[in-house]
Structure 1
Amino acid sequence: MKVVHIPFCFHPDPVGGTEVYVESLARETQARGLAVVVAAPGSQSCRYEHRGLEVRRFAVPDRIDDLRELYGEGDAAAARELGKILDDECPDIVHLHAFTRGVSLRLMREAKARGIGVVFTYHTPTVSCQRGTLLRWGRDVCDGTLDRAACSECTLHGLGLAKIVSRMGGRIPPAVGHALGRAGASGGGWTALRMTALVEHRHAAVRALLEEVDEIVALCQWVHDLLVRNGVPARKIHLSRHGVPLPRPSKAEPLPDSRPTRLRVAFLGRLDRTKGPDILIRAVGALPGLPVEADLYGVAQSGTGDGYVRELRRLAQGDSRIRLLPPIPHDRLGMVLSAYDFVAVPSRWLETGPLVVLEAFAAGVPIIGSRLGGIAELVRDGMDGILIEADSVGAWSATLQRFCDDRGLVEHLRRSIRHPRTMDDVADDMVALYHRLLARQNVERCTAG
């Protein structure tokens, strides 16, 4: 059996949790005898090897001629490039791990047109939420129902419009946006006036994807529920939670210049506003005398995040307790994490894992995290971590103070940590799913024949 995995990006580009998941899954299934190829969007089409994995890149043009490429069926040229890879590799299964302009409905249909089975994993809220967070007005958890007016006004609000203006924009008939699109109007106010039409287009693409793929993998319960809420048959959804790819370390790696009397905090992940590293920095900064060290290991995943990284450096400037550091090499991750008192996960959006929670638990380190989405599903509040109000600097400051005042709390939480599910378990789930899909396809072909 050959499987082609298609993530948002891949090494040597800066990667996030999805790409770590894809690489780990590829390696585990390869070890089980499957032929595996990773195909990812890139600036140009090429092929190379990454640590024993075959990687193909397919070019996605930089230029966007029509906004409907972003909101709808995706880039046609990128889909054609992927089609060439499929013709060359002849896979049995295509496993999609993103839904973007490059990894699109058009791309999925290239696989379906060749009779290839397609599995889709819902990794982030950006799949179905145009705002990208599944937080209504940026604050309240949304149930994820695809509703043109509600999603349009929330998207406009996320782009910086006042709530009252966003509500007005959400009531514009889509016909207005379609007419403006035919006239070539885009950018600024024109995009706002077109938003209901663009969101309608996006929702049609999301519904088509969910209907046309053969199987859907939900990484957590809230994703399963969202999919059912939007009409996906429960039999098509497979709940398979994240797994951690590293073993429990036996010895912690000492931190340079660390004072044992200080509370040691680590943040791992993309330096992106949705991940909330600024919340941690602000919380530490609000308590200038607090004996705490906060190390933020991360990188911006694209050029668009450079401004946010500059903001983080500005917030941390002059505070020797806060360090912005490069990502930890994966083979050292467990050893480095073991030296910390806890890992901070201050996300502002609904996570489907996140993987960092499992990595922390594998290293025997408790979590302080937002009471949102997958974090709240994985962390047992008061047992192996502490869940606090999302996007609240005050709540984070109070929790840091609490840990400094009661250092025994860290050890109490450590003792209750259970070793997490692994990527070995995930690979078992996926191989079984692939085999069931191929068996069903064979039956359907025989029946049709």
Structure 2
Amino acid sequence: MKIALVTAYFYPSSSGGTERYVLSLAKSLIKQYHEVHIITTGTINNIITYEDIAVHYVNDELSNNSDILSSKKASDNLDDFIAILDENKFDLVHFHTLTPAFNTFHISAAKKLNAEIHFTAHVPSITCIRGDLMQYGKHACDGLILKQRCTACYLSKKGLSRSVSNIVARTATILNYPVTTAIVANRKIENLLELNRLCDMIFLFTNWQKEIFISNGFEPKKITITSQLLNK
């Protein structure tokens, strides 16, 4: 099988947990006799070999366009991403980040080219607009997206007190204004529903994650619990 692993972060330009996981997964798949490529961000139209793995690059998305940042619009690298897919005819495209550089438009493009779609959620921000699944930064959240609660929590991370955050969130929910504040939770819900629709399999690391994904509309049959220790 010809497989593309898609990540906004990869060696040698960055190193972290997601990078280590993707590299380990690539090596594991190669041992199973699959052909594996990495698609990441960097110098456009550049291809390198990293530890004997082909790495394709598209431009990172660094704009402040709110539509791109909220996944309402595709990033400018989408055509280059599609060109890589079209040239290589991957059987499976496995996404490891959901960022402005690679969002649901990229997943949809891969799906339209008849690739099987997998997604691994490495970070809490996949489902949490605050980004850390900590309610007001104080205690663990149950992860269910509730518009007013999540908007208030999101605003508190931006520096507002909890009481002011709740007032602003309640007002935004009722009046749908200011629009950028009012739609932030709805946009997250829409993105998650689209992610569920597009993906054939979703890989998570804990049952807690699984409960959060299911509570936000993901189909349980698509979810698989996996290990972060691929080389063990």
Same-fold call, TM cutoff 0.5: yes
- Out of 203, 206, 218, the position equivalent to 2:204 is 218
Q: 1:43 to 1:131 in 2, by over 3 A?
A: farther
Q: Deviation digits for residues 67-89 of structure 1, max 9, x if unmatched?
A: 12112245332222211110111
Equivalent residue for 1:147? 146
Structure 2 counterparts to residues 132-171 of structure 1, below 5 A = 132-171=131-170
Q: Report which structure shows greater RCO (CA 8 Å, sep ≥6).
A: 2
Query: Counterpart of 2:89 in structure 1: which amino acid?
Result: C
Structure 2 counterparts to residues 28-177 of structure 1, below 5 A = 28-42=28-42, 44-65=44-65, 67-171=66-170, 172-173=172-173, 175-177=176-178
2: CA distance between counterparts of 1:61 and 1:218?
26
Return the offset for 1:43.
Answer: 5.2
Query: Counterpart of 1:52 in structure 2: which amino acid?
Result: D
Runs of 4+ in 1 over 6 A off after TM superposition: none
Pairing 1:204–2:203 present:
no
* 2:189 counterpart SS class: helix
Pairing 1:242–2:228 present:
yes
Q: List runs of 5+ in structure 2 lacking aligned partners.
A: none
Return the offset for 1:114.
Answer: 0.8
Q: 1:26 to 1:61 in 2, by over 3 A?
A: same
Structure 2 counterparts to residues 4-403 of structure 1, below 5 A = 4-42=4-42, 44-65=44-65, 67-171=66-170, 172-173=172-173, 175-178=176-179, 194-245=180-231
Superposition CA RMSD, Å: 1.6
* 1:76 counterpart SS class: coil
Contact 1:169–1:196 at 8 Å: present in 2 too?
no
Q: Deviation digits for residues 241-287 of structure 1, max 9, x if unmatched?
A: 22153xxxxxxxxxxxxxxxxxxxxxxxxxxxxxxxxxxxxxxxxxx
Contact 2:8–2:41 at 8 Å: present in 1 too?
yes
Contact 2:128–2:143 at 8 Å: present in 1 too?
yes
1: CA distance between counterparts of 2:229 and 2:132?
23
Number of equivalent positions: 230
1: CA distance between counterparts of 2:84 and 2:22?
18
Query: Counterpart of 1:57 in structure 2: which amino acid?
Result: Y
Return the offset for 1:228.
Answer: 1.4
Q: Which is greater in Rg?
A: 1
TM-score (norm 1): 0.49
2: CA distance between counterparts of 1:125 and 1:231?
16
Q: List runs of 5+ in structure 1 lacking aligned partners.
A: 179-193, 246-421, 423-449
Q: 1:45 to 1:160 in 2, by over 3 A?
A: farther
Query: Counterpart of 1:175 in structure 2: which amino acid?
Result: N
2: CA distance between counterparts of 1:40 and 1:177?
35
2: CA distance between counterparts of 1:73 and 1:108?
14
Contact 1:72–1:204 at 8 Å: present in 2 too?
no
Return the offset for 1:99.
Answer: 0.8
Contact 2:127–2:213 at 8 Å: present in 1 too?
no
Q: Deviation digits for residues 17-75 of structure 1, max 9, x if unmatched?
A: 1110000110111121100000012353421111111101111342233x121122453
Q: Deviation digits for residues 338-373 of structure 1, max 9, x if unmatched?
A: xxxxxxxxxxxxxxxxxxxxxxxxxxxxxxxxxxxx
Identity of aligned residues (%): 24
Q: Deviation digits for residues 129-186 of structure 1, max 9, x if unmatched?
A: 11111000101111111111111111110111111111122121363244xxxxxxxx
1: CA distance between counterparts of 2:127 and 2:208?
13
Query: Counterpart of 2:69 in structure 1: which amino acid?
Result: L
Contact 1:74–1:103 at 8 Å: present in 2 too?
no
Q: 1:236 to 1:31 in 2, by over 3 A?
A: same
1: CA distance between counterparts of 2:227 and 2:63?
36
* 1:176 counterpart SS class: coil
Return the offset for 1:218.
Answer: 1.2
1: CA distance between counterparts of 2:214 and 2:63?
36
2: CA distance between counterparts of 1:144 and 1:155?
13
* 2:102 counterpart SS class: coil
